[in-house]
Structure 1
Amino acid sequence: MKLTDKQWEKIRDLIPDGEKRADGRGRPWRDKREVLDGILWILKTGAQWSHLPATFPPYQTCHRRFQQWQEQGVMQKVVEALARDLYKRGGVDLSECFIDGSFCMAKKGGSAVGKTKRGKGTKIMAVTDAGGTVLSVSVQSASPHEVKLVEHVLEERFIAPLPVKLIGDKAYDSDPLDENLKQQGIEMVAPHRSNRKKKKTQDGRKLRRYKRRWKVERFFAWLFNYRRCVVRYEYKEENFKAFILLACMLILLKQFMR
């Protein structure tokens, strides 16, 4: 897949050019747009780097630039810039946000990998706004309960303002979590588990919001259209998250194409 001219104009200044050597020697850097298109082909197809078609720059070049951009935090900066722009234009609704997590099998192990009944894997956590626009993603071990992963994904958000209400499924029914979020000005809305022993803290009126939780599930459906995000093949969690952020970049860019 390749970016359209309109999409490229939106992010071109956020993608750094290759640094030139002080002595002027060495080969010239390949065009950064061509390299990014090659990386996005890997993201979309889930193929190995060595299978990159000859229509793109050499796979070694694309892989090397991917590593450089990941280490420089380029993907994070691009997504944050797009999210901030959208927020300033009134395209983000924080009145109610949705949270969920999705398990990814980790084929090669590595950091942020944990054991579960489904095998070793990583948990992708995400928060979206009232319209389903992604506001935060994090990559964490799949072993801990999702309740313990909430605050970390909030810390990884793309914009500074916090949600007013955060809506999740029964996995987020936790009085300590409710109290921690309340101290940050966030109201947690989640159905009670059937085995809950303490008194109920939610009422039916608030839980009507739960019916709109499909918006965060839709985000994961969009995310997993990019096959490199479906199964984790990267040993380093930073590399896997870089692919997740690239997918988020493409999803956010669609907001500017309307």
Structure 2
Amino acid sequence: MIEPLLPAPRLKREDWPGRTPAPSQALRDGILWILRTGARWSELPQVKYPPYKAVHRWFQEWVKDGTFRAVLRALAVDLKERASFDPEEGFVDAFFASAKKGALCVGKTKQGKGTKVIAVADGACLLLTIGAASASPYETKLLKATLDERLVDELPERLIGDKAYDADKLDERLWQERGVKLIASHRRGRKTRTQDGRELRRYRRCRKVERIFAWLQHFRRLVTRYEVKVENFLGFLHLGCILLLLRRF
């Protein structure tokens, strides 16, 4: 299912001088090594993998043409068709990835400058959407753009989050535009109670999306952002999610 979505290997032209193109499998293994270790591209072992400039160039091409996202979406759709999707409730949360370089989509917070990774998962720990943005804006302002990049067409009936998603305007917009009911714990000091106490009990299962974050942070390249372009960092996120879906499901 994945193989048709991967770019075809380049072959050396007989009438064109130059080096023989590196095998596609070796290029993918080199990208996975960078994802797992979090090392610099120049530290890629030359004995085991192709030259790091070639691996980096291919990685940028696959990010640009949407290869990683297409593979991730194909896996998510396949799992959904096999009845692994829970349409009743989904969970939303975010984690902070510190940034060591100045770049786009990097904001300042109390923890320092970095990027915020926001994701939505269903009750079966199936990833529905994931995105990366500046860490400065509130998560309520990033949720709509994250849902627009979802991997499957359907959205859960209820979306459960923590206090960061407690906003009346967000509740109304999600219900009117998408038919999704947002359930979030009340912020401290809120005068008007808008959530039902019985539905707030669903927040206890919000650890399911946090479990996905714990799995993703096993890849050191995702703990700290070194990429100047946010598209490259998002490409590593998609690649890490691909490995999670392949291993778990």
Common fold: TM-score over 0.5: yes
What amino acid is aligned across from residue 206 of structure 1 in structure 2? E
Structure 2 CA distance for aligned equivalents of residues 24 and 129 of structure 1: 53
**Which of the residues 122, 128, 133 maps onto 1:135?**
128
Q: CA deviation at 1:94?
A: 2.4
Of all paired residues, the percent bearing the same amino acid is: 51
Matched, 1:251 2:244: yes
Structure 2 CA distance for aligned equivalents of residues 24 and 117 of structure 1: 59
**Which of the residues 16, 40, 45 maps onto 2:37?**
45
Q: CA deviation at 1:12?
A: 2.4
Matched, 1:125 2:118: yes
Query: Measured at CA, do residues 24 and 178 of structure 1 come closer, stay the same or move farther in structure 2, by a change above 3 Å?
Result: farther
What amino acid is aligned across from residue 185 of structure 2 in structure 1? P
What amino acid is aligned across from residue 217 of structure 2 in structure 1? F
Structure 2 CA distance for aligned equivalents of residues 23 and 31 of structure 1: 17
Q: Deviations over 1:90-112 (max 9, x none)?
A: 11112110000111111112111
What secondary structure is seen at the aligned counterpart in 1 of 2:83?
coil
| TM-score of the superposed pair, with normalisation by structure 1 | 0.91
**Which of the residues 11, 16, 19 maps onto 2:2?**
11
Q: How does 1:1-258 map to 2 (within 5 A)?
A: 10-19=1-10, 24-25=15-16, 26-53=18-45, 54-183=47-176, 184-197=178-191, 199-256=192-249
Q: CA deviation at 1:71?
A: 0.9
Unaligned 5+ runs, structure 2: none
Unaligned 5+ runs, structure 1: 1-9
Structure 2 CA distance for aligned equivalents of residues 161 and 27 of structure 1: 47
Whether contact under 8 Å (2:12, 2:20) holds in the other structure is no
Q: Deviations over 1:73-127 (max 9, x none)?
A: 1111110111111111111112110000111111112111111122111100011
What amino acid is aligned across from residue 133 of structure 2 in structure 1? Q
What secondary structure is seen at the aligned counterpart in 1 of 2:125?
coil
Q: CA deviation at 1:18?
A: 4.0
Structure 2 CA distance for aligned equivalents of residues 226 and 15 of structure 1: 22
Structure 2 CA distance for aligned equivalents of residues 115 and 194 of structure 1: 24
| TM-score of the superposed pair, with normalisation by structure 2 | 0.94
What secondary structure is seen at the aligned counterpart in 2 of 1:245?
helix
Structure 2 CA distance for aligned equivalents of residues 24 and 143 of structure 1: 53
What secondary structure is seen at the aligned counterpart in 1 of 2:108?
strand
What secondary structure is seen at the aligned counterpart in 2 of 1:89?
helix
Q: Deviations over 1:183-206 (max 9, x none)?
A: 111000111112112x21111211
- Deviating above 3 A after TM superposition, structure 1's stretches of 4 or more consecutive aligned residues are 18-24
Structure 1 CA distance for aligned equivalents of residues 150 and 23 of structure 2: 31
Partner of 1:4: none
Structure 2 CA distance for aligned equivalents of residues 209 and 96 of structure 1: 9
Structure 1 CA distance for aligned equivalents of residues 165 and 141 of structure 2: 9
Q: CA RMSD in A?
A: 1.5
Structure 2 CA distance for aligned equivalents of residues 124 and 156 of structure 1: 13
Q: CA deviation at 1:28?
A: 3.6
Whether contact under 8 Å (2:99, 2:113) holds in the other structure is yes
Whether contact under 8 Å (1:109, 1:121) holds in the other structure is no
Single out whichever of 59-68 and 241-250 deviates more from structure 2: 59-68
